[in-house]
Structure 1
Amino acid sequence: MKDVKFAITDIETTGGGIKGNKITEICVLVVQNGEVIDEYTSLVNPGTEIPLYIETLTNINDEMLVDAPKFAEIAPEIQKITKDCVFVAHNVNFDYNIIKAEFGSLDMSFQRKRLCTVRLAKKLIPGLFSYSLGNICTSINIPHYDRHRAKGDCEATVTLFQRCLALDPEYEIFEKMLNQKTAASYLPPNFKNSDFEKLPTSTGVYFFKDKDGIPIYIGKAKNIKSRVKSHFQERSNRKYKMMQATYSIDYELTGSEVLALLRESALILKYFPEFNKAQKKVSRPYTLTSYHNQKGIEQFVIHKNKVSPVSWMKFYTREEAVKFLEFLCQKFELCPRYCGLQTGVDHCSHYKIKDCSGMCKGEIEQYEYNHRVSKAVDYIQQYENSCLLVEKGRSKAEKSFIYLKKGRYAGYGYVENSDDFNVDQFEDYLIPQQNSSYADRIVNKYLSTKKNLTRLELNQVEEVEERETEEWFG
């Protein structure tokens, strides 16, 4: 570690995010064995106007940058001075990713090992109220001249770095941070690596929380740890701001992916987190209905805005509705032409359903075809019944269930496989929930696309469902 060179860097930019942000000033001070051995400082012409609030903050204005070199002109110097160095900055991911993006815009690569003085200071100087550069300099008496200018901030960071070196004479913390192979190099500055390592690899919902423990983002994932890590690696301005505001991450396991979707939706409606995109108003659903045509044939149709005397089912995308109709056609041997899947043809020639019933060719009696449609309607009507949808639990020892009350989401629960579970007593395990249009959409899509659905009717349990009860609940 003694001979390692550290390129301590600070930049000023045109804005507060990462994406699209351009450098207006850069300073690199190379430190080896605790001493500054090289320096490079330059204004940079960003090729765009500087916003007023940035000019007020940095005192760098457009006029100062007219004759300044563009980044393309100084890129070789930056490559040269940082070569074979560890890239160091206060909140390193900000400076590093903007510089990397500038190189990327020139089709040049920029790859350096990174070290963050925010994270170093938190390890070696714990308990400070704030770890922003200005506040940490005030707290531990580091001279800080020319604030919000690249050289002034860089010199203060060098002093902080030297203090950290003095507090870690055996380089234990330095070596650990430089050699870490986990997501720690991507972690937000206020988040602990130990907290990340505790995250599960299971299915559920997760909460990014601010310093007061308030959720600022809620998401769902099949693998919570992997999904959280992917957030750390995203480079959008919105994600950068979210990471800066994140102090802790909490989670709730669900076992089931559909239950994770339902919990995510409910929790977003409860907390309205700052960084979640507002849940869009769900558009008017597509309605599946049926009627007797002039030939007396009962046929299905999908519509969106018409009022109809019967409404069998609702879907929130046409794709979901079509998939369900294709399923009905195949399960009950119906005719695509009389299911709204083909128009303007005399005889069916559906790309997917090859075994048409023959109604379009007069190969089956009308009463027989209508009887098949009636059986399909009976099948559809079960979706309006009260039932339990059985899904994976949070462990191999349990199952989860989703409660639909008259076809609408009304809660969920978990049951140990060893429990003497009786379907009629499910309320003992139920966690009641409010329904919403978002929950309706999630449930409808699940019902219409899920294969091998395990459904326990609460009105009348048929023999096959009793067998499923024995299989799933012992």
Structure 2
Amino acid sequence: MLSDNLKNILSNIPPAITGVYFFVDRSGRILYIGKSNDIRKRLHQHFHNTTSKALRMQNQVDQVKYENMGNELMALLRESELIKVHKPVFNRALRRSVFLWGLYLVDTAEGYMALQLKKINKDQRELMAFTAKSEGKEYLFRVTEQYQLCQKINGLYPSSGACFQYSLKTCKGACLGEEPTWVYNDRVRQFVQDISLPKEDRTILLEGRTAGERGVVLIENGVYRGYGYFKGELEKDVHLSTIIQPKTDDRDSQRLLRAYLRKQHSTAQ
């Protein structure tokens, strides 16, 4: 049964808020930071969780604060930023990085550029990151077909001979050494270019926190610069320099932005 304090917390959170929330104890220490597309619904799940760790956290929560971000991407970026700053004890105890699998570029002995799905290695920079192996494998199958790459080279079809796609004529024979490495590798490089953050300046327009407001994330020359909010028309009524809150470009922000752009690209196809 919920304590009166937790019931009171739930009753004071508006419905359908997308943003970041903070569990705070009586001394003002931040215990946990999370993000949700519906903060009140997510808090309800937290407060009805009966695991020992969840109960321990519930017993320490004195108040919940939140920031309305208006959209999921900006909420994810803000959550990542705040966890690094505050290092809440329950975030460290309950989870590591949300991205556990990565897509890496590896040269084969024959000189072909292979795309390999492996567990995230902090010492290597992945091309793309995924929350689950199944998600990464599904994506790798899709891009292998889209760019006419070889399932065998990409580790999707163990075989001593040709891959399955070769029989369908969607693989050009790299698995048998029939396709020149430079021709094959050009398509791999095209894929890498397509999934990289755009090198030109780019703005990602998103939902705002209120009616008539928009959110915007700024990428300059492949670097994440920050985000902000505006009303009216961008560049006509509002200049970017007046609204963008500068943020740190790091590995996590790059992963979040690449994942967002990957999903947008998949939806558009």
TM-score (norm 2): 0.72
Provide the residue aligned with 2:21 in structure 1: 206
Distance across 2 between alignment mates of 1:201 and 1:317? 25
Alignment RMSD (CA, Å)? 4.1
Give the counterpart letter for 1:289 in structure 2. L
Provide the residue aligned with 1:328 in structure 2: 143
Give the counterpart letter for 2:14 in structure 1. L
Provide the residue aligned with 1:289 in structure 2: 105
Report whether the alignment pairs 1:432 with 2:246: yes
Relative to 1, partners in 2 of residues 1:288 and 1:192: Cα closer, same or farther, differing over 3 Å? closer
1:189-338 map, 5 Å: 189-191=4-6, 193=8, 196-278=11-93, 280=96, 286=102, 288-289=104-105, 291=107, 294=110, 298-302=112-116, 313-315=127-129, 319=133, 322-338=137-153
Relative to 1, partners in 2 of residues 1:402 and 1:420: Cα closer, same or farther, differing over 3 Å? closer
Distance across 2 between alignment mates of 1:344 and 1:387? 42
Relative to 1, partners in 2 of residues 1:241 and 1:288: Cα closer, same or farther, differing over 3 Å? closer
% identical aligned pairs:
26
1:385-439 per-position Cα deviation (integer Å, ceiling 9, x unaligned): 65333333324523323334554544222233x22436x9433221122244443
Report whether the alignment pairs 1:442 with 2:256: yes
Relative to 1, partners in 2 of residues 1:201 and 1:284: Cα closer, same or farther, differing over 3 Å? closer
Distance across 1 between alignment mates of 2:194 and 2:201? 14
User: Could you say what secondary structure the match of 1:269 adopts?
Assistant: helix
Quote how far apart the aligned CAs of 1:262 are. 2.1
* Contact 2:98-2:131 at 8 Å conserved across structures: no
Quote how far apart the aligned CAs of 1:204 are. 0.9
Structure with greater Cα Rg: 1
Give the counterpart letter for 1:445 in structure 2. A
Quick one: higher RCO (CA 8 Å, sep 6+), 1 or 2? 2
Relative to 1, partners in 2 of residues 1:375 and 1:208: Cα closer, same or farther, differing over 3 Å? closer
Quote how far apart the aligned CAs of 1:384 are. 5.8
Quote how far apart the aligned CAs of 1:340 are. 4.0
Quote how far apart the aligned CAs of 1:220 are. 1.1
Q: Which runs of 5+ in 1 are unaligned?
A: 1-92, 94-185, 455-474
Distance across 2 between alignment mates of 1:301 and 1:265? 27
Distance across 2 between alignment mates of 1:365 and 1:229? 57
Q: Which runs of 5+ in 2 are unaligned?
A: none
Question: How many residue pairs end up in the alignment?
Answer: 260
1:26-175 map, 5 Å: 93=1
Report whether the alignment pairs 1:387 with 2:196: no
1:288-321 per-position Cα deviation (integer Å, ceiling 9, x unaligned): 3265864x7x43233777x99xx78253678365
Distance across 1 between alignment mates of 2:12 and 2:98? 37
TM-score (norm 1): 0.45
Quote how far apart the aligned CAs of 1:345 are. 4.0
